[in-house]
Amino acid sequence: MSILASNFAGISSPNPFWLASAPPTDKAYNINLAFEAGWGGAVWKTLGEDPHPVNVSSRYSAHHDMYGNLIGINNIELISDRPLATNLSEIRAIKRKWPDRAIVVSIMVPCKEEAWRTMLRKVEDTGADGIELNFGCPHGMPERGMGSAVGQVPELVEQVTAWCKHYTRMPVIVKLTPNITNILQPAHAALRGGADAVSLINTINSITGINLDTFEARPNVDGYTTSGGYCGPAVKPIALNMVSQIARNLDTQGLPISGIGGITTWHDAAEFMVLGAHNVQICTAAMIYGFSIIDELTDGLTQWMRNKGYQALSDFIGIAVPHITDWKYLNLNYKTIANINPDACIGCGRCYAACEDTSHQAIQPSIYKNQKIYSIIEEKCVGCNLCEMVCPEHDCITMIAQENKKPYLNWTQHPNNLMCEKKIEKVTA
Amino acid sequence: MRQKINFSNTVTDNNYYFDDIEPPLTNKEAMEEASRCLYCYNAPCITACPTHINIPNFIRKISTNNLQGAAESILEENIFGGSCARVCPTEILCEHACVRNTHPESNPVKIGLLQRHAIDNLQGEYPFTRKSDTNKKIAIIGAGPTGISCAHKLAQLGHSIDIFEKESKVGGLNEYGIAAYKLVDNYSELEINKILAIGNINVFTKKTLGENFFLDDLLDQYHAVFIAIGLAKSKKLNIPGELQPNVLDATCFIHTIRQHQVQQNLNGKSAIVIGGGNTAVDVTVQLKKLGAGKVTLAYRRGHQHMSATLKEQQLAQLHDVHKETWFNPVKIAPLTNKKLAVTFDIHIPETPKETVTLTADYVFKAIGQNLSTQPLFKNNQNILSVQQYRIAVNDNYQTSLPGVFAGGDCISKGQDLTVYAVQQGKEAAENIHAYITGN
Ligand SMILES: Cc1cc2nc3c(=O)[nH]c(=O)nc-3n(C[C@H](O)[C@H](O)[C@H](O)COP(=O)(O)OP(=O)(O)OC[C@H]3O[C@@H](n4cnc5c(N)ncnc54)[C@H](O)[C@@H]3O)c2cc1C
Ligand SMILES: Cc1cc2nc3c(=O)[nH]c(=O)nc-3n(C[C@H](O)[C@H](O)[C@H](O)COP(=O)(O)O)c2cc1C
Ligand code: SF4
Ligand code: SF4
Ligand code: SF4
């Protein structure tokens, strides 16, 4: 068995890379191509009740960086716009053709027990491996009382999850919306409702830009747009944070997590997994590059696991979680200082502009081998990382941890903290 | 017999090493270059690579910090990925097809240099294993890129291979022919050691087909025979004065400099190189790098007819090589000062014919190679069919004799380039496998 073999909430797949519920999983044709390319599983594009929704044209818009790379996309597409019966018969055929791959069906119906019961019976009949409850779609569907309108109300999340657990034997994955202040509340609600797992994140409310000649935004539908769902590389930090919150919170710890949001490379995937995701789902990267990236994803993860000596995914899932803690437990006596390698410095002065104007005036111009370069004034450096971040040269600025022999001291113990706790204990998780 | 080349009359106070003509990319350069690849669908660069390396795939592995995986992707299709990255004329192959050649960048992704970056950073052995033993034995004649590539694929498939090689070292033209600034130091040897580490390949050097053994002997002992002897005989000019000292074979000259780590200074000596292909350019550039004075490249037709690629021609120009076109040599005569006088007819179309004479210390012939005319069979009866002066084969690399296959420079298929040699060796191996296992 491959070292990438995955078991997520009882659903097995040859690797932990699933396609997220979205256009790439809209129909049998796409999913066939994906499985031929080697994807481990797919969450079918969200199914709703008949009559099926209708979509607008155009549907997506882009957020490019200065070099023209796509760092995020926004969409105003609804759930599946094909008849339910068509989707169900294709799901059945795909599962029969690809028994070793995970086929999970995403569902969104109104918050009525009977609606869920009816849909679950139909989906279960296809032989699918599990269901994912779409409580996340931020556009269109919430106006009809579904999607993120449900995901933002923990009571509803719990209620619908409980219905699903009652009416099906399939594993129930609850997909969470990031359009909420505290992700732990819906995650905990899902757990209370009996969810087998959560998946996150769905897309984030967004407008990617305005045309300053027409004053219209994209995606442009006859001169108008609406708030759309944002995803792709730019949302990864938000998703990673939310995944880690659920992984390290005492109430939700151990709940299997399917990590989603901006995953583009094997490296991104590994980061989600060490922060507690048991598998990952990908949408935008597949939409940008096509299905063949699965080869680079699986090969990259395999090579990394080999280098690390890991035999199975379980060897590293969650191992970075203990390194995340609350601010109040950070060591206030830890000190790091920037160091500029004079041989690598090209004298661009970006670090100086950053530190001089906006930080701690800890950088000065200097001369080295007759060249104008910059150097650090160590006494003034607070170790903020800003200069290291703006420096265009690799291995030029490094942050160096200082050996100051001071003991661990956190905010709960600090004299400036008037609520200073008497008991001194080091807490890491 | 190979000519002996003697530079004892040159001053030796100043020695030369051959450095990489194109230095390797640094990590940062490789990351930046890799990020220029568009990850094309059905990428034209893959089709343009004779070995069909999955180029977008390996480049994406580089840009996602997976150098090991990148190298493995390359080697899977091209076991000589390391030397091909250095010697391929990418300007007429993969990089020619790269979509980045078009507006607005007009600069292809540097596929060759990225390929080198991946292979150079591969840790440990080449990642290949043999299938279980089939107890089938195959004889391969010639240990150039074609023979070694075939041997490696056959070993992977579980067969046992004996290679018979004329020279004392393996590698063929990788070892003895490629310009010293393309494959520096003993790269060829190091690479082949890694390839042969797969096992079940025995190499017998200093064994020449037609002298030490014959095809008849092999056919009794092996399930199949693969001929990969390249083109061992240099073409002649067939003009008066060709056989005197200091009229040298280009390939022999390169052979000599390739076998010495440190080179002697040519100390301003002049040379005329006759030919218009990449080999001719290779010689001119190597002469200049060894300190030669005036070096003239004399070609019998126009520069648009030269088979040397534009990039190679520019390289010669960069090294201050004089190029003369429409120069057709008719006679070489010795002068009293030990120099040589070469007389050329100048045949520019639609202009009156002229005659000029150039003098130089050396004349190099770089007008191509032919199949050696050594007998292949004991009874001295050459019964392998020949086509366009090379061994004739069908689509499956089968010669006119059952069980005897041939590939590489010695057959009339593909171009005479290392990368075609590798591909033909690989394809021939698959056909030989099918032949001996009956499927
Ligand atoms: C000077 C020169 C420069 C070149 N530069 C480039 C370049 O930059 N890039 C590029 O892509 N290609 C280049 N080429 C072409 C490339 O080297 C060849 O296409 C390639 O090496 C062919 O591989 P091969 O294995 O078929 O033949 P070879 O490499 O010629 O190998 C044949 C082997 O068979 C052995 N052999 C010959 N006769 C016998 C016999 N009777 N018995 C036993 N063994 C025998 C030879 O010793 C040799 O080892 C160059 C060629 C030359 C001549
Ligand atoms: C065009 C588009 C349509 C989507 N449709 C759905 C959907 O029907 N159901 C759903 O649960 N998520 C949907 N999503 C969200 C994705 O499944 C995923 O959660 C999100 O895009 C974040 O992952 P990514 O950064 O890899 O794209 C959609 C995303 C896009 C771009
Ligand atoms: S990607 Fe295909 S469907 Fe979409 S706009 Fe372009 S051509 Fe039309
Ligand atoms: S940003 Fe980096 S390269 Fe530029 S001056 Fe500062 S240290 Fe030197
Ligand atoms: S053609 Fe050029 S840009 Fe496209 S995949 Fe090949 S190397 Fe990359």
Based on the domain organization, do B221 and B251 belong to the same domain?
Answer: no
Q: Is residue B6 part of a domain?
A: no
CATH at residue B72: 1.10.1060.10
**What pLDDT shows up at residue B262?**
61
pLDDT higher than threshold 50 for residue B9: no
Structure confidence at residue A48 (pLDDT): 96
Domain assignment present for B346: yes
Domain ranges for chain A: 6-323, 337-403
Whether residues B244 and B337 share a domain: the answer is: yes
Q: How far is CA A303 from CA A13, A270, A291, in A?
A: 19, 12, 20
Decide: B275 in ligand 1 pocket, CB within 6 A. no
> What is the rounded distance in angstroms from the CA atom of residue A207 to the CA atom of residue A280?
26
Q: Do B61 and A300 touch (CB under 8 A)?
A: yes
State pLDDT tens for residues A73-110.
999 999 999 999 999 999 999 999 999 999 999 999 99
SS3 A267: helix
Residue A243 is which amino acid?
V
CATH of domain A337-403: 3.30.70.20
Buried-state track A342-363, b at ≥16 Cβ within 10 A, e below 16: beebeeeeebbebbbeebeebb
- Indicate which residue of A137, A164, A345, A351 is catalytic: A137
Helix (H, G, I), strand (E, B) or coil at A131: strand
Ligand 5, atom 2: nearest CA belongs to which residue?
Answer: B98
Q: Measured between CA atoms, how close is A303 to chain B, in angstroms?
A: 7
From B64, B72, B73, residue closest to A265, measured CB to CB: B64
Would you say the CATH fold of A337-403 matches that of A6-323?
no
The verdict on a CB contact (< 8 Å) between B60 and A296 is: yes
Identify whether residues B209 and B245 lie together within a single domain. Answer: no
Mean pLDDT of B323-341: 94
Q: Where are the alpha helices (DSSP H) in A277-407?
A: 284-289, 293-308, 350-358, 386-390
Closest C-alpha among B234, B236, B239 to residue B340? B239
Average pLDDT over residues B301-312: 92
Residues B252 and B352 in one domain: yes
Band of residue A68 on the pLDDT scale cut at 50, 70, 90: confident
Candidates B118, B199, B113; CA nearest to B160 is B199
Q: What are the distances in angstroms from CA A310 to CA A263, A300, A315, A351, B349?
A: 21, 13, 6, 39, 71
Q: Using 50, 70 and 90 to split pLDDT, how confident is the model at A204?
A: very high
pLDDT top residue among B264 and A154: A154
Q: Which atom of ligand 4 is closest in space to residue A363's alpha carbon?
A: 6
Phi first, then psi: what are they for A260, rounded to 5°?
Answer: -140, 145
C-alpha A357/C-alpha A132 separation (Å) is 49
Residue that the structure tokens 């200091």 belong to: B246
pLDDT at A217: 95
Nearest one of A276, A206, A285, A269 to A241, comparing CA atoms: A276
Q: Which value does ipTM take for this structure?
A: 0.82
Per-residue pLDDT at A239 exceeds 90 = yes
**Given this model, what pLDDT does residue B15 score?**
55
Kindly state whether residues B216 and B258 are assigned to the same domain.
no
Best residue among B33, B39, B40 to mutate for probing ligand 5, ranked by most atoms within 8 Å of CB? B40
Chain B hits for A289, CB-CB cut-off 8 Å, are: 39
* Local confidence band at A425 (pLDDT 50, 70, 90 cut-offs): low
Of A289, A299, A300, the CB nearest to B39: A289
Q: Which of B28, B41, B64 sits opposite A300 (nearest CB)?
A: B64
State the pLDDT at residue B10: 36
List, in sequence order, the alpha helices (H) in A77-137.
84-97, 113-124
| Cβ neighbours of A293 in B, within 8 Å | 39, 60
Q: Report pTM.
A: 0.89
Min Cα distance B51 → chain A (Å) is 19
CA distance B164 to B197: 18
Share of residues in chain A with pLDDT > 90 (%) = 91
Residue B13 lies in a domain: no
**Closest-approach residue (CA) in chain B for A265:** B64
**Do B333 and B402 sit in the same domain of this protein?**
no
- Write down the pLDDT at residue B1: 38
B213 lies in the same domain as B255: no
In a domain, B17, yes or no: no
Q: How many angstroms separate the alpha carbon of residue B109 from the centre of ligand 5?
A: 7
Query: Does B255 reside within a domain?
Result: yes
In three-state secondary structure terms, A270 is: helix
B257 & B354 share domain: yes
Report the residue from A292, A303, A394 with minimal CB separation from B66: A303
Is B216 in the same domain as B326? no
Please determine, for residue A378, whether its predicted confidence score (pLDDT) is greater than 50.
yes
Matching CATH number, A6-323, of 3.40.50.1820, 2.40.40.20, 3.20.20.70, 3.90.1150.10: 3.20.20.70
Cβ-in-10-Å burial (0-12, 13-18, 19+) of B104 comes to exposed
Helix (H, G, I), strand (E, B) or coil at A329: helix
The predicted model gives B391-418 an average pLDDT of 94
Mutate to test the pocket of ligand 1, among B150, B258, B413, B418 (most ligand atoms within 8 A of CB): B418
Pick A296's closest partner by Cβ from B28, B57, B68.
B57
CATH code for the domain in which residue B402 is found: 3.50.50.60
**B39 contacts in chain A (CB < 8 Å):** 289-290, 293
Q: Summarize the confidence of residues B416-420 as an average pLDDT.
A: 97
SS3 sequence of B59-86: HHHHHCCCHHHHHHHHHHHCCCHHHHHH
What residues of chain A lie within 8 A of the CB of B57, using their CB?
Answer: 292, 295-296
CA A55 to chain centre: 26
Q: Which tokens in the block code for residue B114?
A: 């990225």
Asked if pLDDT for residue A420 goes beyond 80, the answer is no
Q: Which residues of A touch B27 (CB under 8 A)?
A: 394
In a domain, B393, yes or no: yes
Q: How high is the pLDDT of residue A427?
A: 52
Q: Write the DSSP string, B253-273.
A: HHHHHHT-SSB---TT--EEE
Give me the half-sphere count of Cα atoms (radius 13 Å) on the Cβ side of residue B22: 17
Least trusted range by pLDDT, from B6-10, B170-174, B192-196 = B6-10
For the segment B408-412, the average pLDDT, to the nearest whole number, is 94
Orientation of helix A266-274 relative to helix A236-248, angle to 10°: 30
In B97-216, DSSP assigns E strands to 137-141, 160-164, 201-204
B362 with B247, same domain: the answer is yes
Tokens of B304: 């648009």
pLDDT, residue B354, reads 92
Pairing type for strands B160-164 and B137-141 reads parallel
A303, B68: Cβ pair inside 8 Å? Answer: yes
Residue B419 tokens, joined? 């990368």
Buried b (16+ CB within 10 A) or exposed e, B408-422: bbbbebeebbbbbbb
Element (H, E) at B283: helix B278-289
Nearest CA in chain B to A302: B69
| Whether residues B98 and B73 fall in one domain | yes
Number of domains in chain B: 3
Please answer yes or no on whether A299 and B66 come within 8 Å at the CB atom. yes
Please answer yes or no on whether B66 and A292 come within 8 Å at the CB atom: no
CA dist., res. A387 & res. B165, Å (int): 60
Domain of B102 in residue numbering reads as 27-120
A355 carries an active-site annotation: no
Mean pLDDT for B253-277 is: 86
B325 and B338 together in one domain? yes
pLDDT, residue B389, reads 87
Compute the distance from residue A74 Cα to the ligand 2 centre, in Å: 10
- Chain B residue set in contact with A, beta carbons under 8 Å: 27-28, 39, 41, 56-57, 60-61, 64-66, 68-69, 72-73
Pocket residues: Cβ below 6 A from ligand 2 = A 20-23, 45-46, 73, 75, 77, 79, 106, 134, 136-137, 175, 202-203, 229, 231-232, 235, 260-263, 282-285
Question: DSSP character for A406?
Answer: P
Chosen from B37, B58, B66 to mutate, greatest number of chain A CBs within 10 A: B66
Contacts of A37 in chain B (CB under 8 A): none
Burial group, residue B59, by CB count within 10 angstroms (0-12, 13-18, 19+): buried
Instruction: Work out how many CB contacts closer than 8 A connect A with B.
Output: 38
Give the gap in angstroms from C-alpha A186 to the nearest C-alpha of chain B.
Answer: 34
Among A313, A302, A308, smallest CA distance to A266 is for A302
Whether B373 is covered by a domain: the verdict is no
